[in-house]
Chains A and B, each alone.
Chain A
Amino acid sequence: MNRLPSSRELSERVEIDFPRRRRRRLRRRLAWAAVLAVIVTAVWIGSEWRSGQHRVFAAGRVSTAHRMIENDCGACHTTWAPLERLVNWVDSDAIRSIDNAKCLACHDQALHHHNQVPGHGHDGLSCADCHREHRHHGQLARVQDQQCLGCHRDLTTTSGTSRTFVRSLTTFESTGTHPHPEFALKRLLLESSGHPGPEHGARAVLDEDVSGSGFRDKARLRFNHAAHLKVERNAGGELVVGLGNKDGRPVNSSKNCDSCHQSDESGGYMKPVKFEVHCRACHPLLFDNRNDPGRQVPHVTADLIRGWLTERYTLAALEEPRDRSPAVGSAAAAENSRRFFPGRSERPRLDPSLAGSVLRSVKAAEAVVQQHVHTLFGHEAKGGCRYCHQLIDSGSNWQVEPPEIPDRWMIHSRFRHDSHRLMRCEECHGDVASSRKTSDVLMPTIATCRSCHSSHPTAKRFAFAAVGARSDCVECHVYHGGEGSKLSPVTTQSRSAVDAGTISRR
């Protein structure tokens, strides 16, 4: 008969000391497993190290430009910071594993502004404060707007509030508490409120009008865009208005802008317009079309033109038959048969009586070369210094006023024409076709830019594009490359007429 086990018997089935018993076997196994894991890890890490692959230690991939040094931690890092941070248990920013010197070894860059207030850290800004590495960002230079706004939200300089730039800025969009203001250049020209400070680059390319009525283009040069672009056709599509060609017939002069404005090697900016290349064909610098048809003076300073003319007329006088010089008695015949003497200069001497006539010819030619109108093509061609330049006229010592055409207009930003190649020139430089005066500065307003560069673009160029072109700070502005930078792209040069015949870069 089966008997039910008693509770004692039942309780005896439980090994009461089991938890207290040492499970040597299991423990041993686990221990071995742990040791093995460590060994495997160590071997793996070791083999990675041996093969030169240090990515295993990195928090994330480095930027594209730094990929070449991705495995060389020491190229950027100076200390084994993670361990230090762990031990010290402090805010990660306080302990730096990067020294600026390491960055400057390759990137020789100036800082932002000489009068900026250091934003972070103990000893000024660290490169790594803005350029965060190991975050899978392809471009380290494309820093977040937050980095800029850290200061520009409420801009203070070493001397207090900034007078050159706008104090509060939070967004490029027109809607917002502190939107990007109108371009300083336009603010000066359009008489809108808030002129930029006296140190702003826009002041370098504009002159305050003498009458005090505002600002105008600094360039001392006459140029009429409208006249050069004007084209009219009659009902039959025949050209009736345009610039005249050699036969005096109108040609399609709505030349594309790139007839004169050609991009530089990088494609970003426009090269200066050169007189020799772009102007001379239609605006000749004749000086003596009767005796020397078609011959033109070089496009250089007045002094050099005078020297050029003097040399030309002197040589011409020397080459003339010598019997044309005033002869006395029968001596002229003997003079003509002057015999060569080895070792002596063969250049004939200028008769002092000829010097006067040379001087007169030079004076006459100088007067002609300054004129507005020359006869070249059988009709009147506009040329001569005065046609475009202002002359400082002091009689025989006349000079051409240096035209001082800026190379760059908005020198605190950067721009690439080639990135905008899908657009027509007049989409931004809109008033070109009607601009008659040099003082018209044909630069776009910020609204023109915002029509594409915005999260709510007014001009949607592509149907599939949900938002507009980028409008972050670094899209147009470079942090580095301010004053004193080697890579500064911003200097405005005053050019004289002789300086490579520069006209404009718009």
Chain B
Amino acid sequence: MTCATRSRVHRPGAIVLIAVAVLVAGRVAVAQDAARFVGTNSCAAANCHGGDGSGPSWSSSYSDWIQRDRHARSYSVLLGERSRRMAAALGYPRPAHKSVTCLNCHALSPTPAGTTGHQRQLATDGVSCEACHGPASLWLTRHVRRDWPAEKATRAKLLGFHDTADLRVRTRICTGCHVGGPGRDVNHDLIAAGHPRLHFEMSAYHANLPRHWNDTADGKRHAGRPGTPDGTLRELKLWAIGQVETLRARAELSVWRASTKTAPWPELTETRCFACHHDLRDARWRRQMVTRSGRRPGQFPWAGWERSVIGSLSVLESTRPGPELAEALARIDRVTRPVAVNRERMRAETAVLVRLLDSWSSALNQHDFTVGDLDRLGRRLVLSSREQPRPGNWDQAAQLYLALSSLQVGQKQATGLGDDRRRSIDRALGQALPRMRAILRFPDGHDSAAQLRGGTAQADQPPLALQQFDLATQLIRSALKDNGGAK
């Protein structure tokens, strides 16, 4: 509130001072301290972003958001029956739409509604423009000027503008809520009270976000080397950066959880849901799962969802992280082996991991993706190896499906290269993905993958559904193998 008051005075001198401080600190977060949210009213003018869809896509981005984007309804979710029950179950003193814990992600500003009309609007608009593009008080007037592209390139951070053209920045904006981070923590308490589980995959989430930008131009921007069809590799890059950034955000969340004394510990969402939750009818299922994973009962994997397919990224040789990453992960596995995880050690190890992943995602962002990467990654995903074993549970199978469906987008575009081989791969993907999708679907009336837990006769055999999943993978595997020699 103090920064809002201060900024309202709006002295240029103050801004310069803050900008200097930002430079010294070198962090985006500091810029946000200086900048403040202005709300959607300024964006929504009919001549700006509130157009009727007849102009270029930027001219109707507000209209697109308010009509089609579910982010626009994120605040009103808090007024619903489920949210009311959740707040009651969690023992919050205020209803969900006034609780900071909820508003941290469900609204632009965590300021509880009710103080001023402006503040109320910031909350009630939900996840609006500035939630992703950055607080606009410093760049609102600048971003319509002719020299904005140049200024944006150099001073975006200072002004609090998030340059979403950069896929890494784009991903990090999403993971901020969809994975969580300091203060934005969907922990086991929230899930137990009724919050849906968070499992994020950038490429699929991005594909499902209603477009309020020129997607063709975005595809061109990340086209990769000249000669590859537009947009072929954007999806691949987005998926790769998404994988690393998701794990990074996950590690950062763990750092925060381990270092925040008020946060619950041990935190059960540090592992997979189905590591503990299981069908009581079939006791064998859990024993088998533990046996197959090589863990002992009582040991839980850390970040099961996020680490499912990340090993396959090692095929991108130029970006491949050094052995420190594998060591850091191994150390975390050792730390998380006992149920009572040591908080201090966990904090230290995950902090190391955050640094390593930071540099990895930065390298991926610089990486010049090629069509060859597409093939190599595809092969690594479906041919089981030490880095990328065959999926042993629903999380891993779902991640594999998402990875392959991202690759499919690239493959489809790449068939334009007129290659028979690509057509057969595309055909195999077209056959296999719907089958996988049917296996991964939660059965009617279930909110979990009950069919993936079915017991099998042999303890070392995966459930029948996973065996079927592997059969579907076989289609892609043989299509890739047939032409494995040709690079």
Instruction: Tell me the A residues contacting B by CB distance below 8 Å.
Output: 326-331, 333-335, 337-343, 346
Q: Are B405 and A340 in contact (CB under 8 A)?
A: yes
Q: Which residue of A lies closest to B398 (CB)?
A: A342
A52 to B207, CA, bound (A): 92
Interfacial chain B residues near A331, Cβ < 8 Å: 57, 64, 68, 210-212
A340 to B401, CA, bound (A): 10
Interfacial chain B residues near A341, Cβ < 8 Å: 201, 204-205, 208, 402
Interface string of B190-208 (1 = CB under 8 A from A): 0000000101010011011
For the complex of A and B, 9 pairs with smallest distance between CB atoms: A328-B53, A342-B398, A342-B440, A334-B211, A339-B207, A329-B57, A329-B53, A331-B211, A329-B60
Interfacial chain B residues near A329, Cβ < 8 Å: 53, 56-57, 60-61, 63-64, 211-212
Interfacial chain B residues near A327, Cβ < 8 Å: 53
Interfacial chain A residues near B67, Cβ < 8 Å: 326, 328
Select one of B63, B199, B204, B211 contacting A330, CB under 8 A.
B211
Q: Which residue of A lies closest to B214 (CB)?
A: A330
Q: Are B401 and A342 in contact (CB under 8 A)?
A: yes
Q: Which residue of A lies closest to B405 (CB)?
A: A339
Interface string of B270-308 (1 = CB under 8 A from A): 000000000000000000000000000000000000000
Chain B interface helix/strand/loop/mixed: helix
Asked if B44 is at the interface of the complex by the 8 Å CB criterion, the answer is no
Select one of B201, B215, B442, B449 contacting A334, CB under 8 A.
B215
Q: Are B208 and A338 in contact (CB under 8 A)?
A: yes
Could you tell me the distance in whole angstroms from the C-beta of B199 to the nearest C-beta in chain A? 7
Interface centre among A329, A330, A343 (most CB of B within 10 A): A329
Instruction: Tell me the B residues contacting A by CB distance below 8 Å.
Output: 52-53, 56-57, 60-61, 63-64, 67-68, 197, 199, 201, 204-205, 207-208, 210-212, 214-216, 394, 397-398, 401-402, 405, 437, 440-442, 449
Interfacial chain B residues near A343, Cβ < 8 Å: 197, 199, 398, 440, 442, 449
A342 to B57, CA, bound (A): 30
Select one of B61, B207, B214, B442 contacting A337, CB under 8 A.
B207
A339 to B238, CA, bound (A): 15
Could you tell me the distance in whole angstroms from the C-beta of B456 to the nearest C-beta in chain A? 21
A86 to B64, CA, bound (A): 108
A329 to B437, CA, bound (A): 30
A286 to B335, CA, bound (A): 68
Could you tell me the distance in whole angstroms from the C-beta of A329 to the nearest C-beta in chain B? 4
Q: Are B441 and A346 in contact (CB under 8 A)?
A: yes
Interface centre among A334, A339, A346 (most CB of B within 10 A): A339
A338 to B212, CA, bound (A): 15
Interfacial chain A residues near B442, Cβ < 8 Å: 343
Query: Given A338-B207, A341-B201, A343-B398 in contact, is the A328-B68 Cβ separation under 8 Å?
Result: yes
Could you tell me the distance in whole angstroms from the C-beta of A74 to the nearest C-beta in chain B? 55
Interfacial chain B residues near A337, Cβ < 8 Å: 207
Q: Which residue of B lies closest to A335 (CB)?
A: B210
Could you tell me the distance in whole angstroms from the C-beta of B322 to the nearest C-beta in chain A? 33
Interfacial chain B residues near A338, Cβ < 8 Å: 207-208
Interfacial chain A residues near B61, Cβ < 8 Å: 329
A330 to B216, CA, bound (A): 10
Interfacial chain A residues near B214, Cβ < 8 Å: 330
A326 to B63, CA, bound (A): 12
Interfacial chain A residues near B53, Cβ < 8 Å: 327-329
Q: Which residue of A lies closest to B216 (CB)?
A: A330
Q: Are A339 and B204 in contact (CB under 8 A)?
A: yes
Interfacial chain B residues near A335, Cβ < 8 Å: 68, 210
Could you tell me the distance in whole angstroms from the C-beta of B376 to the nearest C-beta in chain A? 23
Interfacial chain B residues near A334, Cβ < 8 Å: 207, 210-211, 215
Interface centre among A327, A331, A334, A338 (most CB of B within 10 A): A331
A395 to B204, CA, bound (A): 47
Q: Are B207 and A328 in contact (CB under 8 A)?
A: no
A339 to B394, CA, bound (A): 18
Q: Are A328 and B64 in contact (CB under 8 A)?
A: yes
Interfacial chain B residues near A340, Cβ < 8 Å: 204, 405, 437
A99 to B214, CA, bound (A): 97
Could you name 8 residue pairs across A and B whose Cβ atoms are closer than 8 Å? Answer: A328-B64, A329-B211, A330-B216, A335-B210, A338-B208, A340-B204, A342-B402, A343-B449
Could you tell me the distance in whole angstroms from the C-beta of B47 to the nearest C-beta in chain A? 15
A343 to B68, CA, bound (A): 22
A339 to B433, CA, bound (A): 11
A63 to B440, CA, bound (A): 72
A342 to B208, CA, bound (A): 13
Q: Which residue of A lies closest to B439 (CB)?
A: A342
Q: Which residue of B lies closest to A349 (CB)?
A: B70
Interfacial chain A residues near B212, Cβ < 8 Å: 329, 331
A331 to B64, CA, bound (A): 8
Q: Are A328 and B52 in contact (CB under 8 A)?
A: yes
Q: Which residue of B lies closest to A345 (CB)?
A: B442
Other than the given A341-B204, A342-B394, A343-B440, 4 more pairs (CB < 8 A) read A330-B215, A331-B212, A338-B208, A343-B197
Interfacial chain B residues near A346, Cβ < 8 Å: 441
Could you tell me the distance in whole angstroms from the C-beta of A302 to the nearest C-beta in chain B? 28
